[in-house]
Amino acid sequence: MLQRLELVQKAKPLTQDSAVIEPAALRVQMLARQLKNLLPDIARYDKKIAELFAAHPDRVLFENLPGAGEALAPRLASAFGSDPERWESALEIATLSGIAPVRRASGMRSGKKGERKASVHFRQACPKFLRQSFHEFAGCSIRYCSWAQAHYSKQRAQGKGHHAAVRSVAFKWIRILFASWKQRTPYDPQRYLKALQHRGSPLASAC
């Protein structure tokens, strides 16, 4: 933030033309007033969400997740829903939400078995707010969860961009949360680390 403020102070204006600057300033002021008028309604939404989440039967599964907090925990609960039969697999959630990538096979073949080459692409067709919820939670968890931080760092070291690395963390979280949701058992970080050690995962030694 400090670096950004320094850059703003050193920045040179694109124009000094008052015919451009003054109408733009008026528009910003208008938009600011409109946003300010929304604050009471946003507060009512926040209050209602907090009340509904406090009464949610699966609240205990989401409220103590690392990095979730009062904003993201209700969004995660909403993403999974209350019907235990709603999802058949974690991959189903990851695919619908857009966290799982799209794999497209080309017409070219490679290898001894003549397998089609596949390329991996970012999934565009998905509920954007659902994807954003998982993405934001995964990004926050990196600061509070050792294995999430280790996995993110590993993805970055392999050349992945920031958002691709965060989606990879989100993909892992969806698998964990799906199992927790199905079994009605809150996430236990120590239990998960033991599972990583049992599988010989490199993340266990990095935590």
Cβ atoms of 192 and 176 closer than 8 Å: yes
Cβ atoms of 103 and 118 closer than 8 Å: yes
3 state SS of 76: helix
Q: How many CA atoms lie within 13 A of 17 on its CB side?
A: 6
Nearest partner of 186 among 5, 60, 86, judged by Cα: 60
Amino acid at 79: A
3 state SS of 46: helix
Please state the rounded mean pLDDT for residues 56-63.
94
How much is the pLDDT for 45? 95
What pTM value is reported for the model? Answer: 0.79
Please state the rounded mean pLDDT for residues 134-147.
96
How much is the pLDDT for 72? 96
Please state the rounded mean pLDDT for residues 95-105.
82
**Helix (H) or strand (E) run with residue 35 in it:** helix 18-54
How much is the pLDDT for 90? 95
Please state the rounded mean pLDDT for residues 90-106.
84
pLDDT at 79 over 80: yes
pLDDT at 14 over 90: no
Model confidence over 19-59: pLDDT tens digits? Answer: 999 999 999 999 999 999 999 999 999 999 999 999 999 99
Model confidence over 146-199: pLDDT tens digits? Answer: 999 999 999 999 999 999 999 999 999 999 999 999 999 999 999 888 888 888
Domain boundaries, the chain: 20-55, 58-100+127-206
